[in-house]
Amino acid sequence: MPVRSWTAYYVSRTAIAAGIGLLMGLTGLSWWLSVLAAAAVLVFFVWAPRSGRYMIDPAGGVAPMRIDERSRQVRDIAARNALMAGALGYAVVMVVAVVRDEEAVSLEVLGVLGAVAALAYVATDFWQRRSG
């Protein structure tokens, strides 16, 4: 990819990261957390083209990254597994609540279900990319 395209990419992504940091600072987050968040976003933008998850298309200008068919399949499988893990976990929680004759389920339990679904996504994504 030509240097000019990379320069446009990095300048645009630095502006996005700075905008996110500024927005977080304006919403009341402390200045150092805003800077940390902006730096984390910028690190992601630097890592993304080198991660192997995307194809680099020089004709894309400031948006040169494209997802290839293999990455799309991995993403779809991981999303399906995360949805199933969350749905099955939710079903188990509902059955347990009915058996115990509880009227409500705590938000912490639902948060754990969200974490399980996210973990299922990450684990499937990692496993699929490792085996492919």
| Residue pLDDT tens, the chain, 132 long | 555 566 777 888 899 999 999 999 999 889 999 999 999 999 998 888 887 777 777 677 777 778 888 889 999 999 999 999 999 999 999 999 999 998 888 889 989 999 999 999 999 998 988 865
- Cβ 56 vs Cβ 1: under 8 Å: yes
Q: Are residues 56 and 18 in the same domain?
A: yes
Which of 11, 36, 66 finishes a domain? 66
Q: Are residues 74 and 123 in the same domain?
A: yes
Q: The pTM is what? A: 0.65
Q: Count of domains in the chain? A: 2
For residues 18, 22, 23, 24, the Cα torsion angle rounded to the nearest 10 degrees is: 100
Q: Are residues 100 and 112 in the same domain?
A: yes
Q: Which domain holds residue 117?
A: 69-131
Q: Are residues 61 and 74 in the same domain?
A: no
Q: Are residues 81 and 34 in the same domain?
A: no
Q: Both tokens of residue 9? A: 């990419």
